Amino acid sequence: MAELRGAVFLDRDGTLVHDPGYLHDPADVRLLPGVAEGLARLAVAGWPLVLVSNQSGIARGLYGADAFHAVNRRVEELLPAPATRFAGAYLCPHHPDFTGPCDCRKPSPKLFRQAASDLELDLTRSWFVGNRATDVEPARTLGGLGILVALTSGPADLAAARAMGVPIVADFPLAASRILAPTR
């Protein structure tokens, strides 16, 4: 049996793209600085790129899951082709204030485990990258490594990442460089 590979699990809004709040219109997609190059470097190196995103705008009735996927397609259109494509995209459409508790909202490991099953990935060899503590906390639960991208993080997320011992980098290109470094 072949050895499973790791992946790079990515938050989307605020990590890869500018977050205007409840991003749902593909025309509003703006990549953050260096994201296209960083994702391309990871893809060329053979890392599967997997989006995992909380989308409370769906629970709030502001847009549907189709809008989430349309935004993802627009992100891919802005990335260098053909190597840079997402291996999968997983979303939690819930918010406890609107839909009650759920078991898929990050930092829950459910969507990551689902992606690992669907895409035959090893979570312990994976990286978890985001701008919020809830994006990188699953790394601890699942045995992978997290990186907090500070460019759009708030003070509480920075403090939480420090408390978890998660490395903090200034921007996405530095996160990609850390993942691609020969030693973890």
Cα distances from 44 to residues 37, 38, 39, 73, 160, in angstroms, run: 10, 10, 9, 19, 32
Mean pLDDT, range 1-24, rounded to an integer: 94
Residue 182, pLDDT score:
76
Distance CA 63, CA 180 (A): 36
- Per-residue pLDDT band for 184 (boundaries 50, 70, 90) equals low
pLDDT digits 0-9 by tens, 168-182: 999 999 999 999 997
Distance separating alpha carbons of residues 44 and 36, to the nearest angstrom: 12
- What pLDDT, on the 0 to 100 scale, is given for residue 1? 59
Query: Mind listing the pLDDT tens digit for each residue in 36-86?
Result: 999 999 999 999 999 999 999 999 999 999 999 999 999 999 998 777 899
Average pLDDT, the chain: 95
- On the question of pLDDT at 17 being above 60, the answer is yes
What is the predicted pLDDT for the residue at 183? 65
The domain 8-128+164-169+172-176 belongs to what CATH superfamily? HAD superfamily/HAD-like (3.40.50.1000)
Closest CA to 110 of 93, 92, 126, 86: 92
Q: What pTM, to 2 d.p., does this model score?
A: 0.96
Burial of 65 (0-12, 13-18, 19+ CB in 10 A): exposed
81-95 average pLDDT score: 91
Q: What is the mean pLDDT of residues 114-139?
A: 98
pLDDT at 80: 85
Dump strand ranges (E) for 35-184: 49-54, 86-92, 127-130, 145-149, 168-169
Check if the beta carbon of residue 55 is closer than 8 Å to that of residue 90: no
